[in-house]
Amino acid sequence: MERSIRNPKRDASSRQGKTGWYDYYAGFSPGFVADTLNYLDPHPKSIVLDPWNGSGTTTNVAQEAGFSVVGFDINPAMIILSKAKTLDPSVANSIGPLCDELIEKADHFRMQHPVWSDPLTTWLVKDGALYIRKLEWAIQKLLVDNKGYRNGGIRTVNHISSLASFFYIGLFRAVRLILAEFRSSNPTWIKQPKTEAEKVTIKKRHLHQLFVQNISEMALSLSSSQYLQNGLDVRLEVASSEAQPLDKQSIDIVISSPPYCTRIDYAMATCIELAILGYTMEKLNEKMRIEMIGTPKIHRKTPEPTIEWGPTCLGFLKDVREHGSRASKTYYYKTYTQYFDSVFASMGEIDRVLKDNGKCVLVVQDSYYKDVHNDLPSIFVEMGHHYNWSVDSRFVFKGSSLVAINKRASRHQQSKKRTEEVLIFTK
């Protein structure tokens, strides 16, 4: 019997248990990762990598299935989320008392308004931002490092424990609820108040209640989650897919979904979580929004397309460049070129770290630029050929895409059905 793989799109079941801790619109379904592992039937000692790990679906499911895992993402908020999911269920009963202690600590901490302008004041009045900062400080003091407060720099995030990450996610959830009015119909965009008067005021008690409530909900689902096998290597770090901190030929399996090629702003989508970690809007704009693959921001230097990207990619770029509509040959051409440049470099990195005969499974979705079809699955297949990978199987799923929920997308675009493909390569 032909073995099949469930649709990678998240469904209602993907919002239960640990996957429901944080609704990452870009995440794929745990069922898809479980089916893919069954389909590949890897050796039990295999190491599974996701270089675009997002909410950690691949690493979480593979770890539950008994594999050692490595996950990278350029977004520290996502690394914290994937780390939280590695918390052992046996800790669930200790969560309540720890939560009480955190509140107690935050309550008695005599922190003044930070000398640095707190990024949370983008949405909140100063006192509200300070209450949240005190809770974050308490998490750090009790569970990260009691020497002094450091806002969530990459070093801190890479070394943070799954327990501290769990409480960070509780705080992310509480603050998301407090700032719910700034969400828009586009899940990747968070609005900002234009005046001081529009900023949110919160009561300390209300924040603490929300924190306790969210932590209790998470602890409940943690207690019924699967126990994790001891002795597995689990490495979750902030790193770019274009420079993966791994030895060559060290990975057996890659299961991943590269960033979409529809100018999705992954950094802005998580700007509230990043503000909790101390990222200012300036830092977001100057660094993370630029470095993320698929960003709508233009790099200082546009790369030159090369023949190695394959005929479908070059044909698409030519059509965009020659398209008569506004900014096609400037802004749009540049965003696509930088996307393909980064993706090609990332494929090169996957090729370097994957063992010979290793498997690489990528979930890729096509899209349209105006009336020009961006056949991303074929572009990835051709890029894979460049690295001498063969395609074992392609699973095709038809459905709608993020474009359909973006009000600004043209009617022409909205009427197009997207195709999501699961590409299974062998190196």
First to last CA, the chain: 25
Q: Which is nearer to ligand SAM, 121 or 346 (CB)?
A: 346
Site string for ligand SAM, 156-185 (x = CB under 6 A): ------------------------------
Count of C-beta atoms within a 10 Å radius of residue 322: 11
Q: Does 269 bind ligand SAM (CB under 6 A)?
A: no
Q: Does 49 bind ligand SAM (CB under 6 A)?
A: no
Q: Does 188 bind ligand SAM (CB under 6 A)?
A: no
Dist CA 141 CA 139 (whole Å): 6
Nearest residue relative to ligand SAM (C-beta): 54
Tell the smallest beta-carbon distance from residue 389 to ligand SAM (Å).
20
> 24 near 55, Cβ under 8 Å?
yes
Q: Does 27 bind ligand SAM (CB under 6 A)?
A: yes
Q: Does 21 bind ligand SAM (CB under 6 A)?
A: no
> 293 near 258, Cβ under 8 Å?
yes
Q: Which two tokens stand for residue 202?
A: 């919160």
Q: Does 266 bind ligand SAM (CB under 6 A)?
A: yes
Tell the smallest beta-carbon distance from residue 57 to ligand SAM (Å).
3
Q: Does 344 bind ligand SAM (CB under 6 A)?
A: no
Dist CA 289 CA 72 (whole Å): 17
Q: Which two tokens stand for residue 252?
A: 């057996």
Site string for ligand SAM, 300-339 (x = CB under 6 A): ----------------------------------------
Scored b (16 or more CB within 10 A) or e, 204-237 reads beebbebbbebbeebbebbeebeebeeeeebbbb
Tell the smallest beta-carbon distance from residue 23 to ligand SAM (Å).
10
- CA 53 to chain CA mean position, Å: 6
Among residues 98, 135, 190, 292, which is the contact residue for ligand SAM, using CB under 6 A?
292
Among residues 55, 165, 338, 401, which is the contact residue for ligand SAM, using CB under 6 A?
55
Q: Considering only CA atoms, which of 357, 257, 294, 316 is closest in space to residue 53?
A: 257
Among residues 7, 21, 64, 73, which is the contact residue for ligand SAM, using CB under 6 A?
73
3-state SS class at 339: helix
Where along the sequence are the contacts to ligand SAM (CB under 6 A)?
24, 26-28, 52, 54-55, 57, 72-75, 78, 240-242, 257, 259, 266, 291-293
